[in-house]
Amino acid sequence: METISFGITAMTRPLETAATADVSVHLNLLLLLGIAIFSGTVGARLFQKLHIPQVVGYIVIGLILGGSVLKLIDIDLVMSLSPLNMFALGIIGFTIGGELKFDLFKRYGKQFVIILIAEGVSTFLVVGALTGLGAYLFTHDLNQSLALGVMLGAISSATAPAATVDVLWEYKTRGILTRTILAIVALDDGLALLLYGFAASLAAVFLGSGHSNWAVNLLMPFWEILGAVVLGVGIGAILAFIARRVQESQKVLAFALASILLGVGLSAVLHVEAILTAMTIGTAIVNLLPRRSKEIFEIVAKFAPPIYVLFFVLVGARLQITSVPTWIIVLAVIYVFGRSLGKMSGSWFGAYISKSPETVRKYLGICLFSQAGVAVGLSILASERFGGSIGQTIILIITSTTFLVQIIGPPLVKLGVKKAREVGMNITEEDLVKSYRVSDVMDAEPAVIRENTPIHEIISVFGRTSGFYYPVLDRNDNVTGAITVDSIRNTFANQELNDWLVALDIAEPVVAKVTPQTPLSEALETAGRLDTEHLAVVSSNDEDKFVGVLNCRAVRRQLSAEVLSRQQLADNIHSAQLA
């Protein structure tokens, strides 16, 4: 077998950007950001139509815009936007941290930690062994191969929270698998950092370039993790203190974003793990302000989409998939295979040991395939630390495999949560409103009043039934008005009219009609605009034939009940699995 040196220049070519610089000169930064966000969103929409998670769409668009195809976004630009990436990762971390409530830890803490260690260590060992062996077969350089193996093993244990969580949000999942995924992806970056620290120390020894101070090598990961936690708790406590005293949502949003930026920025200054800091801020907020935090996370989530889109598009743009040497491709394949095997076997083993439900044992592994920011970040750190060929090899393998696992990872998360029957269980009232039409929730058989009904009979109808709104129909069943409590109240002051007035005389005009096909969101928006709780439903826009009544208050109650019922169903499935 031909011996290949680690120092081949082909490995570094994809990172060169001179050829692309001319193109990007003509496009200013804001224009590029606009193109990235716009096309990323459009791409995600197209992928959604194909039932592929939107995050894949962002990344593919990034890939097209990036150095691999159109060369609109070059690696220099991506690097220059790294503060923005850190901000996006900060928001993602903050949001994930918000999922970690202490009662969840109390209930599942031990379970999560066992699974986390099992999947992380298993992936580290399997990837480390396989890639180290593979590298040795190609290079016959034992020390270099061992160093590469431990570094790739450590980096492979990280799971991309953003791409994974994006799928969970997109498909509104809820249940024990979802909770375990959230906990593992939130925590395993910490484990990856720890493993990376030890691996880097070990690799330095193999390469004969170890830090003179072993203690520094060993203590750095602890500092990065503990420092991040202390910093996050501190900033989170300050944000909670402020949020208790500030009522306006917009100001709270500003404070929340400022806290994330402060957390990420200070992390860079103090050399602690930025994403972990942001996560800890989120965890601190959700536990210090259990009620108010819901609003804080909601407004941050509303602010975040363009930043997410840009972040993922830039992840795609950073991927360089051209001019990769064959042996690197083989190592990359080994890496992906080993990582998948490690994640699956480790998750299964951890879930088995911790007596987790069957869905966790079966499907957690395939939900942890995504790899992105942290892995790429660690590979960049590795390249800075070791420089030369081994650093470039790590970057190249992580970059190319990131593309692959980012493409296959999100669909596998979708498959896992679907198999675990957790899709659509975390739906909100707003989601239901968007998915329903008027026909789904209208009252199709309400009490009605005919136009010629005398007032004393109308009063009797009010007495017999519990409604507050009665459509008035003509002989052809067309809606000509409505009688409400107010209409009846008006007649109380004029009782002398009761003998000779009929429903038509006291009915209020129908201000807006909807059809069964009208989207519920549109109908509720109309009702809100007209400040009315009821809308008459007619057969079509051209006819006034009565079909039913949309009682907005009752609809809200119905939607709340449905949300609660789905959540209970998700929790019951989990309880049944535990039993």
Partner 1 sequence: MSSDVQLSRVLAPERVLVLHTTTKAEALRALADCLATAPEVGDREALCEGIFYREQLMSTGIGMGIAVPHVRLASVSGPVMAAGICRTPIADYESLDGVPVRLIFMIAAGKFQHVEHLRLLSSLSLRFKSEKLRDALIAAPDTLTFYHTLIRQED
Contact footprint for partner 1 (CB under 8 A): 451-452, 454, 487, 490-491, 493-494, 496-497, 499-502, 504-509
Minimum CB distance to partner 1, residue 450 (Å): 9
Q: Within 10 A of 10 (CB to CB), how many other CB atoms are there? A: 12
CA distance 407 to 402: 8
Rounded to 5°, the CA angle 85-309-409 comes to 90
Smaller CB separation from partner 1, 326 or 495: 495
Of 428 and 452, the one with the shorter C-beta distance to partner 1 is 452
Query: 282-300 b/e with 16+ CB inside 10 Å = b?
Result: bbbbbbbbeebbeebbebb
Amino acid, res. 410: P
Cβ at position 505, least distance to partner 1 in Å: 7
The answer to whether 516 touches 438, Cβ cutoff 8 Å, is yes
Which residue number, 27 or 504, has a Cβ lying nearer to partner 1? 504
Minimum Å distance from CB 499 to partner 1?
A: 6
Residue 454 beta carbon to partner 1: minimum distance, rounded to whole angstroms: 7
Q: Shortest gap between Cβ of 482 and partner 1 (angstroms)?
A: 11
Give dist(CA 538, CA 546) in Å, integer. 5
Work out how close the CB of 510 gets to partner 1 at its nearest, in angstroms, rounded to a whole number: 10
- H/E stretch holding 534 reads strand 534-540
Which CB, 428 or 490, lies closer to partner 1?
490
Helices (H) and strands (E) in the chain, counts: 25, 6
Say whether 482 sits in a helix, a strand or coil: strand
Helix (H, G, I), strand (E, B) or coil at 221: helix
Query: Is the Cβ–Cβ distance between 481 and 504 less than 8 Å?
Result: yes
Nearest approach, Cβ of 487 to partner 1 (angstroms)?
7
Q: Which is nearer to partner 1, 474 or 543 (CB)?
A: 474
Least distance from C-beta 492 to partner 1, angstroms?
Answer: 9
d(CA 107, CA 416): 23
| CB-nearer residue toward partner 1: 197 or 481 | 481
Q: From the CB of 451, what's the least distance to partner 1, in Å?
A: 6
The nearest distance, CB 495 to partner 1, in angstroms, is: 9
Nearest CB to partner 1, comparing residues 303 and 468: 468
Which residues partner with 537 through β-bridges?
A: 514, 548
In 449-497, beta strands by DSSP E: 449-450, 469-473, 479-484
Least distance to partner 1 from the beta carbon of 288, Å?
52
CB 482 within 8 A of CB 514: no
CB of 462 to partner 1, least distance (A): 17
* Phi, psi at 523, each rounded to 5°: -65, -45
The smaller minimum CB distance to partner 1, of residues 321 and 501, is found at 501
Residues 321/403, Cβ–Cβ less than 8 Å: yes
- Residue 291 vs 492, nearer CB to partner 1: 492
**Would you say 78 or 479 has its CB closer to partner 1?**
479
> What type of residue is 551?
N
Number of Cα atoms under 13 Å in the Cβ half of residue 517: 3
Instruction: Report how far residue 335's alpha carbon sits from residue 126's, in angstroms, rounded to the nearest whole number.
Output: 9
Q: Which is nearer to partner 1, 16 or 474 (CB)?
A: 474
Distance separating alpha carbons of residues 197 and 557, to the nearest angstrom: 53
- By CB atoms closer than 10 A (0-12, 13-18, 19+), residue 38 is middle
Q: How far lies 415's CA from each of 111, 169, 365, 370, 577, in Å?
A: 23, 14, 11, 13, 19
Specify the residue, 130 or 448, whose C-beta has the smaller distance to partner 1: 448
